Structure 1
């Protein structure tokens, strides 16, 4: 303990000596812990009615200039996080890290001391949620996907990835280039004005809170928000250590057709029940991905049933096409109910008969396969009058795998009289909160849930 305390001393005598002796500013051997906020007078950084005004000091990711010690005055760097005592860990532009006492730091270009009114942030996010010029009139589904994908990189085995970092905002970084994240740059850009209005709020927190607001705004469960995620200062994201695809390691996000046999000839790739051969390997892949994050089978079904309820797929982004459900901006248990109750058929880009029946929005891009609630006239034309809906093969696995199906059937029951399910609402809220808190170091408990 004595050795650790010595390493974590603020920049005093040892800091100045180290600074003077390392003109090249070599990276020190200590790394600061990364809680998100410094709390003054024992109060939280959250805004709540009935409490005294509190002050939030320097936020990780904020650029600062040093007033001292003398050998460091005028130097600039980025706040990495709070250190022990009344000090902050500052990473300088050359990569070195020192712990600097608060009175030696001043803000550079950003507000140095402010409070974040999370109620105001929520209100601003809610006001931008609906847009008649965007998909189905709402940005909500896209923001839910942004938070999901920014969190779904977590590995409990290495404690890397997760909802901290927001590395996807770096356009040349590994996360931004992940094909599974195609289209999410628009969500990041759309939230930028809100981020500019609240500069002390991290991108990581902004993305997660936006998703919570979207879920609640569209009738879903309220999820308690805890701020404190820290943005990474560079574009380095989690290692690409997913399964090998086409001879290369893939990202950590799930792949909708992993392990399936190739081909589009239904007579060769489907079994007698219409399932694509190799679906068992895809089911195992899904378990591998979600188990790596710390989820169990029930949580997997809850996340898929509540998460794929929203929005639609775009062939220009993912290659897949169409909405999962009829009302894709309204919370319900429709995803589970329709998957179990409706007949589904595998289609590919070559299935042009979809165009002739007014379901061209369900035809995937070349090289992709998905399931739809339509059948060609030659096969009886079932579902021709139903709303256009699709399912990824990864969705259909929930129907085909016995363990997954057991939970899916439970969620498919409308036990509310309003196309909803109590267990699904409860389980999705808990699982999504868990997902969006993966990889965090220190979150601040706020005295409000919504």
Structure 2
């Protein structure tokens, strides 16, 4: 290989950019255990999702939907869902710009005020006094990945939005009336709403940074994600606590949240240790039905950690041996004889819990997962166990319709088909099972530090 001097520069330069941090892109899980873990988290906290982690975002989405309804009436728009989504997305962009205006552009990813779409909003915000754009790309597929896509299903489950519609219910009225400040106080809440409605005038493509005595930064100060921690917002914290926890109808969200609060006060944050403590009644007894859910969650978490670790060992061995290796050697690496008994115990524990029936009823991956657990529980030797694990991996890939198996078995050899999986380099962890989401909500609501 030698370097050549070009007579002229190339006509184009190209580079690969990393995925936008605002997207929901995550590295693919070879065994779909992340998806199954989300289902377990949903069984523990029925009305929350892995994306509903900020309490103020519930209020922001509710307010945006209510504002869209008002804009339909004020501007005479069609009263259909397509129009309401368009209006909500305009509100979401306006609100994001307001937060950044208040923070003078100093909002990094991971900041307490960083919203979904932070990078898109920052790209279109500029310092100074010039009007700001209202129609820009906040986040790719905004209706799915933005605030509405993240929170709508949860809002409907809580009865704060009418099922199958985009209309808020009377249960949300207190949160809406206190969005800018507590009712009855001498403030400019109506002026802020009028300013926000200006942004929903679809004939406009820009918005001024001031509207009479109201400023865009002031609007951001009153509505940003961290505002619930401000003095004077405890009543709003209480309303959202009531809506999200006291009024939860699944029988487990409230008692589990109460246990998380007690455990957090003692510094217990790890999901597995948290479940162990709850089942040992370290903080308080739990209803039998909740304990049963926790037993299923613990069994799944321990087995998921073990299974992913076994797959990673197999993948890593093939990867580090020139992308091809004897299947028998890979099996001994992934399933040593002296570890087979402990694996069978984990499988038996999973098969014994009541929630194993829930996995069988899942549309994706669950039935295949239970089949794998049963086969591993009776696996006779390492090669047998590896064969069952790779068969499950192939089933996951078929269900995803995204390509073939990462490890291909050909005449006693395993060949690497996908070479860019880096997860095998890291220790596997007990899945979070939505405990982190609940802890963040409780922090926003002033229930834990």
Indicate the TM-score class for this superposition, using the shorter chain for normalisation: under 0.3
Give the TM-score normalised by the residue count of structure 2. Answer: 0.24
Question: In terms of Rg, which structure is larger?
Answer: 2
Of structures 1 and 2, the one scoring higher in RCO (CA 8 A, sep 6+) is 2
Q: Which has the higher strand share?
A: 1
Normalised by the length of structure 1, the TM-score is 0.24
More helix by share: 2
